[in-house]
Structure 1
Amino acid sequence: MKRRFLNGYKILGLIAVFSLGVASCSEEFANRPPEDQITLDSYYKTDAQVESATNGMYARTWFQFNNKFFYAVSEVGSGNMYTNSSDVNAMRTFAINGSDPELVQGWRSLWSNIQQANALINFLEERVDPSVNPAVVQNTLGEAYFMRATAYFYLVRLWGPVPIIENSLDYVNQPEFPTNRIEDVYTLIEKDYKEAIDRLYDKTRTNAYVTNKRVSKGSAKAMLAKAYLYMKNYAGAKQMAEEVINSGEFKLLGGTSLPGKTFGDLFTYPNNNNEESIFSLQWVNDGNYGSGNNCNTQFGISTSALTTSNTSYGGVFAPSQDVINLYDPLDKRRHETIMFPGDTYPTMKVLVNGGKTEQMGFTVPSAEDIGGQGSGVAIKKYCIGIENGDQTGSIDGWAMMQNCTYIMRYADLLLIHAEAVLAGGGSTSDAAALESFNAVRNRAGLESVTSITQDDIFLERRKELCFEGDYWFDLGRMPRAQAIAIMGAQNRGNMWTAEFYTPSESDFYLPYPDNDVAKNPLLIEPPVPYEFN
């Protein structure tokens, strides 16, 4: 299966992995050793050089995962987004297959992250110069364990059984190998996050956002809490979540600790790496394709009269008919998540008159004039408007931008905590669970509640994290009959034509790429237990 990746993993060629210095929100992540001449033995001699070893894993290795695949599966598949673009609409009707180009790209991207991490985990300590600070080495390894765990966390939730590869070199000459059981993959994820917790620096996220870019011990605990939730290890999820909450490392923008900010500030370029960000992908325009964030083009409004992007096309994804009525009119998240006709955005710069004129601020046009996919509304999250100095950062040659993409933020952790306290029960009035749950609601301008159920939590998660790639996975955690009923009742059409599609049991895991199955037929054989050292 991974032969296409692993054959490039020659002993003398390991440096290609270590030197992947990739895009991010600053020059720090753009710094990288020359990929065509560096060697492990000659480069990693200083603290800064070792710290740069993980730069690539903060963005570029995630690009093809995040560019289209992530939204085509998690948001279109879940019923949050609508699209009729042929390259990304297969999950709208649950018709995706192993030859789907975006599926292949997403699969490759996740394995690329694992490959990069494996090189560091297995070879950095023995090859780094003795003068390098041991704490720097350990933190770098912690980042590698964190990234490997996160890549596997997506793989197991998207594909189910997948091969566990802890050292890529073990498989260079072994093109056929089996998948491993889901429970074993989760064991690896748990082990890797614990390794990350042991090695990563402690941090406190401050308003000096430049210091918040990299993951921390708290980031690993938060991601482990989320993994425990999927494992139904509620006690573990609760413990990890409470350790993060009690540490004070993260805060809600617009919550009681940061009243000067708002929910909408989360998705603006000046607030990259804010106090709520637990792990976000770091983008920077370095002149290379795959270094920037494409969401501003993929989302938003694109017509001859008005476009929110610096390109002549856009609006590949749009809100589904199912989410148009998701929010209470008083919910502050509504305006910052979906652009409805008549809504105004005075601080966004757009292009009008066929792209000839720049205009500061705009009113969303009528449903028929929004364009894009015929949804009648447009996506606001991650849509920040055309290039506008410090408000957006620069754009690259593909109109991609530098606003970070969240993998996890503190609001998610608070809702995980509430769910972990509920622990699969019918309802809870536990004070700690309500404090976490209501903090998210109150930030949105909604009143506190006095008890919560599992359905309440899933609904709040959908509202809070809409268009951020979580709802598909939440549906996957529900009893299958419940999830199938929810999706079968969704209007998956556009504003003119209602369409309904009901998934089957098999649709909750993606097919393996056809080319990989052809090279490794064991992919479609029953998974086998993994023997951990």
Structure 2
Amino acid sequence: MKYNSKYNFLFLILLLASCSKDFIDRPSENGPTLDVYYNNAAEVNAATGLLYNTIWFDWQDKAFHAIGEAQGGNMLTPNGDANYGSGVYNNFKVQSSDVLVAASWKSLYKVAGNATVLVKTFEEKASIIGEQPYLTQGIAEARFLRAIAYFYITRTFGDVPIVEDPVALAKSGDYRVPRYIQSDVIQFIINDLKFAEEHLSEVSYQPGRVNKYSASGLMAKAYLYVQDYANARLKAQEVINSGKFALYADYGKMFTSSAANNNSESLFALQWSAAGGYAIGNPIQIYAGPSTLLKPDFDRGYSSVLPTLDIVRAYEDGDKRRGWSIMEHGYSNPDWKNVNFPDGFLYDTTYMDSNDDAKKIKNGSRCNSLKYIVGTGSNGELVNDGFSDICTYILRYSDILLIYAESILGSGNSTTDAQALDAMNQVRARAGLAGVTEITKDNILHERRVEFAFEGDYWYDVQRQGFDRAKVIIAAQERGNYNYDGTVNSIHASIVSPSQLFLPIPLTEVQANPKLNEAAVKYY
């Protein structure tokens, strides 16, 4: 594979050469030629399959939690774990030389670049053989993936480059691409999603693939981000009215078993294969899981990123999502067995000394995230050196319901609209909570926080509140941890500049492209 060192785009057209039906298998490194390939749906589908898996890995691996959760105050990196930037995401001291900044830029632009190359390839093929439904579908699928990549890019970095033709850029040798203002990047995303919505089918042609309503749902989220409440409501309502999605009854299973992959609630998820190992399997369990769970079988489970005291305290009494999302003292799973837990796993924090290392834990939070933890493999899950098959949910139906409720609230302070209440209370009912009778900006943001905790999204919810409100939210959080004796080492973070709502562009990119130091310009 050939990578452009400036923007890290994959410029070869990649193809699944094997006979496997699994669309997330490793691609061949041989680029096909237009005259002999992309002559049927199977060949196009094989090419777009890459966009769901390994090219997301460098972002999914650690940046996913560091950016979306550590910055948002839901997770902390104990003892300044170097894997997560030595704590800089907890205290907003991220530098342009940070490895996760570079990993995010590289990975997300790699997704966008691959998707763009496929769009142009399929368009060129259509110019040769005429428009074909399978080519149009491939273009729509690739444009959806490009849109969601840019959605993460612009929410993470703010004003950013849009690269329309990465192959032409590579051939030119001139990498001086400007940054474009964020509102134009969002419009670029919405244009991609409109095309995807128009040309994708209403039902996924293969489990895990996007469909028309995936595009409608992501459009609703993009509109909400820029406070276009009327269009956010319209698009969310289209997904709801389709009747094709529903809240998955077993919230806990959704995040602890690959058997629940691509369920009724999933509009878009990254697809992983543990059999592929590094960069092909889901790595979250390795870093978020407790060391007592996976060792000694896999020498994995680092507790590198943990729930904050603040998120643990955020759940209402009786909210079942706390137990479904967080391992705390007394949590047990009889199906997770290994040599240390022959009768099943027990989360025990009554740690006394080093003799308790094998079965007990005493980290700074006295808890671990439970989301994306599938256990030891003794319960039928494939666990390969800590990697798993469980998908990473990027857009769920509960998000659509809460977007719909918030879009009805709009810029107002509160609403008692019956449709908004019904949407929000569906989410609360699954969690075992009574319905609310009024929706405010505070309680819907709280609902989003506990519903999507540890899913890499909360920071973007805080960010879109604007600097003044985000500053207050962050300052009120307890980002500390427990000392060994159980007392709290209290830590409060602060943001002092609107620029801290976004990460700096990687230093290496700025050095290669001085235009990234210049003011953003309009794209449209």
| Structure 1 length-normalised TM | 0.88
Q: 1:451 aligns with which of 427, 434, 438?
A: 438
Q: Which AA in structure 1 matches 2:243?
A: G
Q: 1:226 aligns with which of 218, 221, 239?
A: 221
Q: Which AA in structure 2 matches 1:323?
A: I
| Structure 2 length-normalised TM | 0.90
> For residues 97 and 7 of structure 1, do their structure 2 counterparts lie closer, same or farther at Cα, with a shift above 3 Å needed?
closer
Q: 2:376 aligns with which of 381, 386, 396?
A: 386
CA distance in 2, matches of 1:363, 1:288: 27
- SS of the aligned residue for 1:500 comes to coil
Q: CA deviation at 1:135?
A: 2.0
Question: Contact conserved, 1:302 with 1:309, CA < 8 A, in 2?
Answer: no
Does 2:278 align with 1:294?
no
Does 2:58 align with 1:64?
yes
Residue 201 of structure 2: aligned partner: 201
CA distance in 1, matches of 2:304, 2:515: 36
- Give 1:237-316 correspondences, 5 Å limit: 237-254=232-249, 262-267=250-255, 268-287=257-276, 289-303=278-292, 307=295, 310-316=298-304
Q: CA deviation at 1:131?
A: 7.7
Percent identity of the aligned residues?
37
CA distance in 1, matches of 2:177, 2:6: 14
- SS of the aligned residue for 1:18 comes to coil
Does 2:45 align with 1:51?
yes
CA distance in 1, matches of 2:17, 2:473: 42
CA distance in 1, matches of 2:175, 2:234: 41
- Aligned Cα root-mean-square deviation (Å): 2.5
Does 2:519 align with 1:526?
yes
Does 2:346 align with 1:346?
no
Residue 364 of structure 2: aligned partner: 374
CA distance in 2, matches of 1:30, 1:128: 25
- Give 1:404-483 correspondences, 5 Å limit: 404-483=391-470
Q: Which AA in structure 2 matches 1:271?
A: A
Residue 489 of structure 1: aligned partner: 476
Q: CA deviation at 1:481?
A: 2.0
Question: Contact conserved, 2:274 with 2:282, CA < 8 A, in 1?
Answer: no
CA distance in 1, matches of 2:368, 2:197: 39
Q: Which AA in structure 2 matches 1:387?
A: G
Question: Contact conserved, 2:52 with 2:271, CA < 8 A, in 1?
Answer: yes
Q: Which AA in structure 2 matches 1:67?
A: D
Q: Which AA in structure 1 matches 2:477?
A: Q
- SS of the aligned residue for 2:346 comes to strand
Residue 346 of structure 2: aligned partner: 362
Question: Contact conserved, 1:285 with 1:291, CA < 8 A, in 2?
Answer: yes
Q: CA deviation at 1:404?
A: 0.3
Residue 259 of structure 1: aligned partner: none
> For residues 4 and 247 of structure 1, do their structure 2 counterparts lie closer, same or farther at Cα, with a shift above 3 Å needed?
same
CA distance in 2, matches of 1:237, 1:308: 48
Does 2:74 align with 1:80?
yes
Q: Which AA in structure 2 matches 1:518?
A: Q
> For residues 425 and 20 of structure 1, do their structure 2 counterparts lie closer, same or farther at Cα, with a shift above 3 Å needed?
farther
Residue 153 of structure 1: aligned partner: 151
Structure 1 window deviating more from structure 2 (451-460 vs 33-42): it is: 33-42
Q: 1:324 aligns with which of 306, 312, 320?
A: 312
Question: Contact conserved, 1:339 with 1:364, CA < 8 A, in 2?
Answer: no
Q: Which AA in structure 2 matches 1:360?
A: G
- SS of the aligned residue for 2:334 comes to strand
Structure 1 window deviating more from structure 2 (213-222 vs 493-502): it is: 493-502
Residue 19 of structure 1: aligned partner: 15
Q: CA deviation at 1:479?
A: 3.3
Residue 501 of structure 1: aligned partner: 493
> For residues 276 and 367 of structure 1, do their structure 2 counterparts lie closer, same or farther at Cα, with a shift above 3 Å needed?
farther
Q: 2:140 aligns with which of 139, 142, 147?
A: 142
CA distance in 1, matches of 2:463, 2:429: 27
Structure 1 window deviating more from structure 2 (434-443 vs 489-498): it is: 489-498
Q: CA deviation at 1:86?
A: 1.8
Q: CA deviation at 1:289?
A: 2.3
Q: CA deviation at 1:61?
A: 1.1
